[in-house]
Structure 1
Amino acid sequence: MTRTGRILSLGCLLLSPLLADAGGNSLLIPATARCALNTVPEELPAALRACQQAASEGDLQAAFELGEFYYDGRRAPRDLAKALHWFEQASLQGHATAQHRLGVMFFRGEGVRANNVQAYVVLKMAAVNGDEDALDTADRVAEQMRRDELEIATQVLGQIFRDYLLELQAAEGREPLRP
């Protein structure tokens, strides 16, 4: 199946109430200021503190950048536990690239026990949120999954979708759909 076909078949397969709320539409992710971690070594401790403060106050881009900083290990020793923490924070707010990174970490077992179901679900969320490469990565994960794992992941995705539809209907004051 082509990428376009997969995107269309995903359609509304996965929409999460965990996405950031922007103007009443949880699918719109607001743009936020970036933290400046590309600085001279003497200024890095202060830049890290400022970025951590912004991320702790809900700046999803700052959380993502902290995750990248600790994951890549170029400017400081690689710290997968911190990378995982910050990617999770950005992911919970709907940051697609952070979700992709987090899915890869779950798949590879980087900083966390490998978990194909979690990897697959998070990668599908990343795809819905706009990370174009996440579908291909999810396909690679699916190739490694047992049938029962894929069934569990599909059930989780279905529940996320149902919850999201109910949330939309409640926000619009409509009666929930009946199965």
Structure 2
Amino acid sequence: MERPKKYCKDSRAIKALHVMPEDLNMHQTIFGGKVMELIDDIAALSATRHARMPVVTASTDSVNFLAPVKMGDAICLESFVSWTSRKSMEVFVKVISEELLSAKRTVTTTAFLTFVALDEHGKSAMVPEVIPETELEIELYKTAPIRYEERKRRREETSFLVSKIDLSPPFQKGVWI
């Protein structure tokens, strides 16, 4: 069965927000975990738009923090599905900060995540292929098989490690630690 194809732009999602005091760490920059939460959320939007089915995050393959974001800055996240295998989708996310008073913009974070679409029984489902158009989309598409093989290698490594983990509860004087 031939898979349908969709353009990267059809999965594009954009979100902008103002960095507020509750978003800051002790260095007065945005919490990395807050950025990661926003990345996962927008990547899920792109994956759902591409598959038009419920999706789950299978992995966060990389998150690269390139520059700090300060209170009062705006951040804009943009994501799109950059590549697919038969049942998984690679989503690329970039985060750009803007100093609102000076209009200075900086790429602060990039990330790759993998999502799986779920059918009505909660099983992984086939997803459409991707058609890249822009220079960035084409480059990400061309280099995706290398990232895909690296993800498979890490998943195998993780499966091996998980098989070695002791699942008995850690107790100290009868208290769960």
TM-score (structure 1 length as normaliser): 0.30
Which has more strand, going by share of residues?
2
Which has more helix, going by share of residues?
1
TM-score (structure 2 length as normaliser): 0.30
